[in-house]
A and B are shown apart, each in its own frame.
Chain A
Amino acid sequence: MGMTIAEKIIALAAGVPEAKAGDIHTVNLDRMMSNDGTTHLTVDMYHNRLKDPRIAEPKKMVFIVDHNVPSDSPKTAAAQKKMRDFAKEHGIDFWEGKGVCHQIMMEHYVCPGELIFGADSHTCTYGALGAFGTGVGCTDLLYGMVTGASWVLVPETIKFNLTGKLREGVYPRDLMLTIIGNISASGASYQVMEFCGDGAKTLTVDDRMVLCNLAVEAGAKTAIFEADEIALNWLKERGRKPKAVFKSDEDAVYVKEYTFDLSKIEPVAARPDFVDDVVPAKKVCGVRIDQAFLGSCNNGRIGDLRVGASIVKGRKISDHVRFLVVPASRQVYLQALKEGLIDIFMESGAIVMNPNCSVCWGSCQGVIGENEVLISTGTRNFKGRAGHPSSKVYLGSAATVAASAVKGEICTADMLQD
C-alpha cells in the first residue's frame, strides 16, 4: 500500500520497508535540538538520574539559547550557563543570541527526509523542507541524546490541497490562521498536516515555514511539504544536500482532505485567548493597543520585515505604542541591515532588539502589563502569554501588526492614511 511523506520518513528512520498510521516504531533520530526553555532540566537529569550517562552522537545535537536573550536574571543566567558548560564539555554545537532556534535549524541544519526531535513545540517548522520535525519534552530529548533513538507512533496524515495564489496584501500567516480557525485548535491532533497542490508551488520556503510552524496550534504532530524544486534550490544555495526526497504515493492513505483556495483568503486575526478564534482582521479593527510585536519563528524573517518596513516607512509609531521588532536570526538581521530596513524601523520609533524569541514567549523581554493589549506576529495568544494574566494578545500578519503600531489601534494596512 502507498505511503505518505511522513510515513516514508519514519520507515527510513526505523529501517523498515513500510510504516503505516498507528504503528509504533523505534527510530534513529537524525538530529536533536534543545533550547534554553528546558535544556537545564535535561542536563540535570543527565547528571543526576541516569545510571549510565552518555551521548550517542554529540554531532546530532544542537543547543540553542534563544528564549531569554540577553538574560534577564541570575536564574536565567544559571540555566543558560549549565547548557553552555554542557555543550562545551561534550562538543555539542552551541548557538547563543544568534536567533530563534527553528530559524537557526532551518538556516544551518535541516535537510529533506530527516527525522528531527526538538524540545520545542514549533519543531514542526522543519516540514517546510520536507523533513519530519516534531516537538518533544526534555525527557524524550534526553532519551534521544543517550540512545540516538526514540519511539514514534506513526501519525495519520491530513491532506491540505492548496489551490490558487494569495492576493496582494494577504500573507501565508493569514492562510494558516484561517486553516486553524477552520479545523480548530485540536483539528489535527496527533496527525500530520501535509500541504500540496498548485497553491503550494506559489509558496517560498519561508512561506512554507509560516504554515508548518503553526501546525502545532492545530494540535498536529508535524506538518510537511514535499521537498520540490523550490525547496531543493533553497537547500543548495545553503550548501546542503537532502537525506532523502520523498513524495506521497498516489494511493497513500489520508484520514481527511481539505481544499483551500488561496485567492479567497483575507487578512485575519486570532482573538484572545485562542489561536483558533480566527476572524476577518476588519472585525477587530479599532481595538486600542499598547504594544505591537513583529518577530518570532513564525514571522520574523526577511520577507516579514520588508512588509513591516514598507508600512512604517515615513511614518511614526503611535505615541502610546511600544513596537518591538525582533528579527528571527542574525542572518535575517544582517540582511535587514543591508536593505536599510533596520534604519526604517529605528526612524519610525520602533524598539529593535537582537534576534531572540522576545515577547512571543512572554517571560521577560517586552512583557505587557495589566489589561494591556498586544498585537503580535508570534505563535500564540494564550491567556497571559505575554505578561499579566489580564492582558490580551491578538495575532495578525506583519502588515496588520505594523499598520496597527502606526495607528495605535488594530487596523489593516489598507486602512492607513498618509
Chain B
Amino acid sequence: MSVGKIFKFHNDLDTDQIIASQYLLLPTIDEMKEHAFESLEPDFAAKVTPGDFVVGGENFGCGSSREQAPGVLKALGVQAVVAKSFARIFYRNAINIGLPVIVCRELPDAVKTGDEMELSLTDGTAMANGKSYSCTRLPAYMQQILSQGGLIASLNEQAH
C-alpha cells in the first residue's frame, strides 16, 4: 500500500462528527462527503486526498449506526482508519463496505495530523515517522469480506 497523509482525531470520536444528521438524507454519499468532519475540520473534504489515513484514539466511530460515516470516508478515498479501538457498528459497517479499519494501540499516540504513514494489511504493520507498529489482524471471516470488496460483493459472488 502507498504512503498517505494522516488526519488525527480524538478519543470517542462519534459518528455525528464524521457526518452530521442533517446531511444523512441527502440522496447520495457523494453529496454527503463534502460535509465529512465538518464540525471539527470544516476543510477536511477539501484537504483529504485519496490514499490518506484517518487516525483515531479509543472507541472511534461511537454513536449511531449510520453507514454514511464510513461511507463518506471511503468516498473521499481514505485508505484506512487506524485507531486504538473502534465502536462496533462503525467497525462492522466499514468492513461491510470495504473500508479497512485497523486496530493499532501505539501508533495513534505517536502521530499528529500532517504526518505521513504507510500500511501493510498483509503484514499487519504500519510505518510512521520512521517507526514500525504492529496492528491487530482481522478475524479471517472479516478479512474475507474485506478482500472480496465488501458485503455486497460477497453477496453477488453467492448469486453465481
Instruction: Enumerate chain A interface residues (CB-CB to B < 8 A).
Output: 24, 36-38, 40-41, 44-45, 49-52, 67-68, 73, 75-76, 78-79, 118-121, 123, 135-140, 142-143, 146-147, 151, 153, 185-186, 189-190, 216-217, 219, 221, 274, 276, 361-364, 367, 380, 382-385, 389
Contacts and interface: CB of A to CB of B under 8 A. Distances in A.
A363 B22 contact: yes
20 contacts: A37-B64, A38-B65, A38-B66, A41-B67, A44-B28, A119-B67, A120-B65, A121-B64, A137-B66, A137-B70, A142-B155, A143-B155, A185-B12, A186-B58, A216-B89, A363-B22, A363-B24, A363-B25, A380-B14, A382-B14
A137 B25 contact: no
Contacts of B79: none
B21 interface: yes
Contacts of B12: 185-186, 274, 276
B46 interface: no
B27 interface: yes
A362 B58 CA distance: 25
Nearest to A364: B22
Given A41-B67, A50-B155, A274-B12, 15 more contacts: A38-B67, A50-B159, A118-B65, A119-B65, A119-B67, A135-B89, A137-B65, A137-B96, A140-B93, A140-B151, A143-B152, A189-B59, A217-B62, A382-B17, A383-B14
Q: Considering residues B14, B27, B141, which has the most beta carbons from chain A within 10 angstroms of its beta carbon? A: B14
Contacts of B26: 75
A189 B21 contact: no
A362 B63 CA distance: 13
B93 to A, nearest CB: 3
Interface of B: 12, 14, 16-17, 20-22, 24-29, 38-40, 58-59, 62-68, 70-71, 85, 87-89, 92-93, 96-97, 139, 141, 150-152, 155-156, 158-159
A185 B59 CA distance: 8
Given A52-B159, A79-B25, A383 B17 contact: yes
Contact of B21 (A24, A121, A219, A362): A362
Secondary structure of the A contact surface, majority rule: loop
Contact of B141 (A38, A151, A190, A221): A151
Contact of A139 (B85, B88, B150): B150
Contacts of A361: 21
B137 to A, nearest CB: 15
Contact of B88 (A120, A146, A190, A382): A190
Nearest to A277: B12
Contacts of A185: 12, 59, 62
A80 to B, nearest CB: 8
B59 A136 contact: no
A139 B21 contact: no
Contacts of A217: 62
Contact of A24 (B14, B65, B68, B139): B139
A50 B67 contact: no
A75 B87 contact: no
Contacts of A276: 12
Nearest to A24: B141
Q: Considering residues B59, B62, B70, B152, which has the most beta carbons from chain A within 10 angstroms of its beta carbon? A: B62
Contact of B152 (A78, A123, A139, A153): A139
A135 B65 contact: yes
Contacts of B28: 44
B45 to A, nearest CB: 15
A329 to B, nearest CB: 20
Contacts of A147: 155, 158
Contacts of B68: 38, 41
Contacts of A49: 152, 156
Contacts of A153: 139
Contact of B25 (A40, A151, A367): A40
Contacts of A121: 63-65, 89
